[in-house]
Amino acid sequence: MDNETEKKDPFEEKIDQLKTEDLKKALQVFREKIHSEYAAYFNSCVHCGLCADSCHYYLTDRNIQSMPAYKLNLAAGIFKRYFSFTGKKIPGWIGAKKFNHSIVREWVDSLFGRCTLCGRCSLNCSVGLNITYLIRTARSALASIGLVPPGLQSTVNTALEKGNNMGIPREDWIETVEWLEEELQSEVGDKNARLPLDLKGARLFYTVNPREPMFFPLSISAVGKIFYAAGESWTFSSDNYDVTNYGLYSGDDEAAGVMSDRLVKSMKNLGCKTLVLAECGHGFNSNRWEAPEWLSKKYNFEVKSILEIVADYILQGRIKLDPSLNPDPVTLHDPCNLVRLGGIVEEQRFILKHALTQFIEMTPNREKNFCCGGGGGQLAMTRFSKRRLEAGRVKADQIRDTGAKVVAAPCHNCIDQLMELNKHYKLGVKIKTVCEIVADALVIKKREKS
């Protein structure tokens, strides 16, 4: 493909046309979101450089702009210039920078384009700075003046306007559930097997990532089969079922709140006891941890990952698995938002060890695992896709080193990036959700009655 530059990119034009009041607005939003604890972070980086080798961007491009400390400093320089005494009086002394078009351009390029908000730099920071939060806050400032890169912004917009992030019409979602229900019935040989929709008073409300019904429904079938085997009381919802929340990535807390509140509405409407989040890393982090903050309210129901539910089934003997049905060597990818930032670490390991014969850990793993490169909205921001694939080399090498034939990935966003890495780096692996692997190992007893 050729490169040409005669037509200006509309997003770049938007930056060119920023007015003084736009810049002021962004600064104001930035200031409002920096509480004292975070303001202290801006003054605390000791420039030790340990974060550099923790970042998959820096490890693959060795570019100073990819260093977490550099990215932090881009945001810190602005904070100091406008909101600290020394920065206002003698900015040059402390690296305080003026907020102008060229800094905005650099913020977009580095804070959106060279970061997946994976949190690995924060984990490796020698003084414990939450670099990830600060970068997201700078994204919030850019979001307030309409500078979220296209693709990421359009995914937020689609979710806000259409009720789910792929714009699936209501009847198409319902028809897909009915279709998958028929498939389940024929698979388990029981015409009473159900994928219930809007079943009021069910114990669990199960959410999905729109990517599943739209293009990759096998993960839904797998969960339906597990629920069937466990004899669970559960339901889908025909409205407000989307587990994703791209507001987490764009930095737009208001939009994020609207999306998470939809699941709260479904819980209320259905009267379920537990909100169960699909295998979706950022959806888990958003709805388990961040949403009560965005909405300023305490949830009066339980929020769990489907992995916690399935681990309980195994523990309680509610499902029976035959590991010999999954004979290929399997490795596990730890999605950042589910594991490092979400706290779901051992459940998936416990499940897999009961569902297959050869389990191989990646190195490093658990909370120290590397990002796949697809998080932080990178999959949606096409303009940075070459960089995303290059940064994914760290993950590709990790996978190759295990020699595994299957990668279990409890996150649909990671799965899409892993599929691209598989193709680009010729890994020759299959990529599955944890529940798909469990479903393949299920031993289903014939029902006396349903």
Binding site for other proteins (CB under 8 A): 1-7, 151, 154-155, 158, 165-169, 172, 175-176, 179, 209-211, 213-218, 244, 280, 379-380, 382-386, 412-413, 416, 419-420, 423
- What phi and psi, each to the nearest 5 degrees, are found at residue 238? -75, -15
Q: What is the C-alpha to C-alpha distance for residues 313 and 380, in angstroms, rounded to an integer?
A: 35
What is the residue-wise DSSP string for 268-300?
A: HHHT-SEEEE-S-HHHHIIIIIIHHHHHT---S
Contact 246, 153 (CB under 8 A): no
* Smallest distance from other proteins to CB 5, Å: 7
Whichever of 251 and 281 has its CB closer to other proteins, that residue is: 281
Whichever of 347 and 416 has its CB closer to other proteins, that residue is: 416
Cis peptide bond N-terminal to 323, omega within 30? no
Whichever of 155 and 274 has its CB closer to other proteins, that residue is: 155
Terminal CA-CA length for the chain: 58
* Smallest distance from other proteins to CB 214, Å: 6
* Smallest distance from other proteins to CB 122, Å: 24
Whichever of 35 and 426 has its CB closer to other proteins, that residue is: 426
Contact 415, 280 (CB under 8 A): no
* Smallest distance from other proteins to CB 383, Å: 6
Could you tell me how many residues make up the chain?
450
| Tokens describing residue 225 | 């089969």
> Which amino acid belongs to residue 4?
E
3-state secondary structure of 99: coil
At a CB cut-off of 8 Å and minimum separation 6, what does 29 contact? 140, 141, 144
* Smallest distance from other proteins to CB 61, Å: 16
Whichever of 188 and 280 has its CB closer to other proteins, that residue is: 280
Contact 372, 392 (CB under 8 A): yes
Whichever of 5 and 316 has its CB closer to other proteins, that residue is: 5
* Smallest distance from other proteins to CB 176, Å: 5
